[in-house]
A and B are shown apart, each in its own frame.
Chain A
Amino acid sequence: KAGVTQTPRYLIKTRGQQVTLSCSPISGHRSVSWYQQTPGQGLQFLFEYFSETQRNKGNFPGRFSGRQFSNSRSEMNVSTLELGDSALYLCASSPELREHDEQFFGPGTRLTVL
């Protein structure tokens, strides 16, 4: 069974631009979560999607948004990029929206904002 895949793996953008990252969950998994990892703040939760609806949201500004498609694939978008948005963005999937489910992470997308 293929794991979580994320595209692209690396991105370089300039301040003020916007970016879209993509995540394909493990086949059969319906819940997708996004996390940001930076050296200063560590791993922080962005949001979670299930059945094309955002079910949970972390403490990030509105420039960070996401969506989920009917095939459970998810995208996240960051508008008006800032230098501080440089990070590793990780996507995780789990089978359902159950509190006890294990989360499986993808390889991440490394975003560099210049």
Chain B
Amino acid sequence: DAGITQSPRHKVTETGTPVTLRCHQTENHRYMYWYRQDPGHGLRLIHYSYGVKDTDKGEVSDGYSVSRSKTEDFLLTLESATSSQTSVYFCAIRDDGTEAFFGQGTRLTVV
């Protein structure tokens, strides 16, 4: 398996609380992505990074922020969680010309 891990794997949180999900890689890949997956919508890009401190918005970025202070870590933060952010979150990594490798996912429930 590619060296990519997500933490936590499962989390239940209350509406209005901040939540941070972590993606950690040991592959030194340039690109890192955060996706959410919901029934009927497939995988939708939240934010992505193309280098340390270089990030950009995806198609569903509202309510989310990210940070990449070092190559191996890409953090996704929900500043104030809402029930609509209940989802499965996947992190992915890749380099130019290579396939993307995915973490095992984080199941987040906002109650």
A and B together in one complex: no
Contacts from B to A (Cβ < 8 Å): none
Contacts from A to B (Cβ < 8 Å): none
